[in-house]
Structure 1
């Protein structure tokens, strides 16, 4: 399993953060999602054979939340959403 942190644009409230979490959780290979509305970040644990940070960001963009990988793994568990 891998970890990725995504920087997300357009989250304006809890409903947006919930939608982002639901979109990410619905992607094959994703096992854990944590969204920080305050920092506009999502931490995602995923199977690298089924998803990539770019594909996660692409799914969010299709849902109306442009996103980009903010960092991956590298000793950070991603549990704090980089905050």
Structure 2
């Protein structure tokens, strides 16, 4: 297990932060998720045999939350798959 930090864009309110936490918690291999709206980040523990920061950022991007990890290769390629889904904060 490793601690992973993701910087997350497009979190405009508590509902967005809750949605991000739900998305991450629902992913296989992710535990101990903590999302900070104020800091625009999520901290979690991941099992690297089951998931990766890249998969986390892809899943969040598909839900309308572009993000990147602290890992240099992830930071160089931020995931952007459009804006917020509109269901929680982008209405």
Q: TM-score range by the shorter chain?
A: 0.7 to 0.9
Runs of 4+ in 1 over 2 A off after TM superposition: none
**Please, which moves more after superposition, 62-71 or 1-10?**
62-71
What residue number does 1:30 align with? 30
CA separation in 2, counterparts of 1:62 and 1:44?
Answer: 19
Number of aligned positions between the proteins: 71
What residue number does 1:75 align with? none
What residue number does 1:15 align with? 15
Q: Which runs of 5+ in 2 are unaligned?
A: 72-91
Q: Which runs of 5+ in 1 are unaligned?
A: 72-83
What residue number does 1:45 align with? 45
Offset of 1:32 from its aligned partner? 1.3
CA separation in 1, counterparts of 2:47 and 2:35?
Answer: 18
Structure possessing the higher radius of gyration over alpha carbons? 2
What residue number does 2:84 align with? none
- Alpha-carbon RMSD across the aligned residues, in angstroms, is 0.8
- Give SS of 1:18's match: helix
Q: TM-score, normalised by structure 1?
A: 0.82
Answering whether residue 54 of structure 2 is matched by residue 54 of structure 1, we say yes
The structure whose residues are more often strand, as a share, is 1
